[in-house]
């Protein structure tokens, strides 16, 4: 079954690149792909994945509680701004949900971006700023160690996201994934995935889309476990984080 799905996706990409068929035919093939993939996700896999999410989220929240006093103290010394940051992201089947993180930027980060056209253009083009002047000194440390993402364990417990899956994107990023967005959003977003263990911020949108959709097509309990294990050294070394 998995081989059939991959073949369909390849067919769709070839049709899009070569423009040999109508848009309606491409869309029909994509819908067929989605139906096959949804059927392939067994109830056993979904249950074991949810159990893994709950155990992992509880452990992550315990770590956050232990680190929180030091983080609060450092934040007070920095600028006395809010500790947490909330942003609406795209969830499974394009449903919105609030994502929680520790604040890593200056308080007026959005306004600062709007005041700098060059930074705004880079953000619109890549979804990231390689040298983001809005990130604080504490924020750089939190990002490099991925501690800033520990509050997302609350999202995992709520069922908004999973430990493993395509990284949750903003609604402004939907267009860059083109026809693949529906396939990408067939599963819950995740804290980590193929993208995070394959370069994170050093990859472009095209590579990210391929990695995300590869996960959707090949997802399994043991694939999730393997990704989690490979995430540990990536986080410890801070590869691709900025």
Encode the chain in three state secondary structure.
CHHHHHHHHHHHHHHHHHCCCCHHHHHHHHHHHHHHHHHHCCHHHHHHHHHHHHHHHHHHHHHHHHHHHHHHHHHHHHCCCCCEEEEEEECHHHCEEEEEEECCECCCHHHHHHCCHHHHHHHHHHCCCCCCCCECHHHHHHHHCCHHHCCHHHHHHHCCCEEECCCCCCHHHHHHHHHHHHHHCCCCCEEECCCHHHCHHHCCHHHHHHHHHHHHHHCCHHHHHHHHHHHHHHHHHCCCCC
Average of per-residue pLDDT values in the chain = 81
pLDDT, tens digit, for every residue of 11-64? 444 434 544 444 554 555 555 555 555 545 688 999 999 999 999 999 999 999
Which of 15-29, 62-76, 110-124 shows the lowest mean pLDDT across its residues? 15-29
44: phi then psi, degrees, rounded to nearest 5: -60, -45
Predicted local distance difference test score (pLDDT) of residue 13: 46
Residue 83 neighbours by CB distance under 10 Å = 12
Predicted local distance difference test score (pLDDT) of residue 28: 54
Predicted local distance difference test score (pLDDT) of residue 80: 84
Provide the pLDDT confidence category of residue 122 given band limits of 50, 70 and 90: confident
Predicted local distance difference test score (pLDDT) of residue 10: 40
Higher pLDDT, 81 or 200: 81
Provide the pLDDT confidence category of residue 229 given band limits of 50, 70 and 90: very high
Spatial separation of the C-alpha atoms in residues 52 and 60, rounded to whole Å: 12
**CA angle 46-232-196, nearest 5°?**
70
pLDDT, tens digit, for every residue of 160-201? 999 999 999 999 889 888 888 999 999 999 999 988 888 666
Predicted local distance difference test score (pLDDT) of residue 206: 81
Which of 61-65, 74-78, 101-105, 202-206 shows the lowest mean pLDDT across its residues? 202-206
Higher pLDDT, 230 or 30: 230
Predicted local distance difference test score (pLDDT) of residue 117: 78
Predicted local distance difference test score (pLDDT) of residue 118: 75
Predicted local distance difference test score (pLDDT) of residue 126: 65
Higher pLDDT, 27 or 138: 138
**CA angle 231-129-161, nearest 5°?**
40
């Amino acid at each position: 079954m998995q081989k059939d799905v991959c073949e369909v996706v390849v067919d769709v990409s070839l049709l899009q690149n070569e423009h040999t068929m109508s848009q309606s035919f491409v869309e029909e093939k994509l819908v067929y792909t989605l139906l096959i993939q949804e059927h392939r996700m067994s109830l056993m896999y979904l249950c074991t994945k949810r159990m893994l999410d709950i155990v992992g989220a509880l452990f992550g929240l315990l770590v956050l509680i232990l680190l929180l006093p030091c983080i609060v103290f450092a934040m007070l010394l920095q600028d006395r701004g809010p500790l947490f940051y909330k942003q609406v992201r795209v969830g499974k089947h394009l449903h919105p949900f609030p994502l929680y993180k520790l604040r890593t930027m200056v308080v007026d980060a959005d306004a600062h971006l709007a005041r700098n056209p060059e930074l705004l253009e880079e953000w619109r083009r890549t979804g990231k700023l390689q040298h983001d002047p809005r990130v604080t000194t504490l924020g750089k440390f939190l990002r490099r160690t991925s501690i800033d993402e520990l509050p997302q364990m609350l999202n995992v417990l709520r069922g908004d996201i999973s430990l493993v899956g395509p990284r949750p994107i903003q609604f402004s990023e939907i267009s860059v994934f083109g026809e693949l967005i529906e396939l990408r959003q067939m599963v819950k977003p995740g804290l980590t995935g193929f993208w995070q263990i394959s370069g994170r911020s050093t990859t472009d949108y095209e590579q990210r889309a391929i990695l995300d959709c590869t996960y959707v097509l090949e997802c399994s309990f043991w694939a999730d476990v393997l990704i989690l294990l490979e995430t540990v050294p990536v986080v410890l070394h801070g590869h691709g984080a900025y």
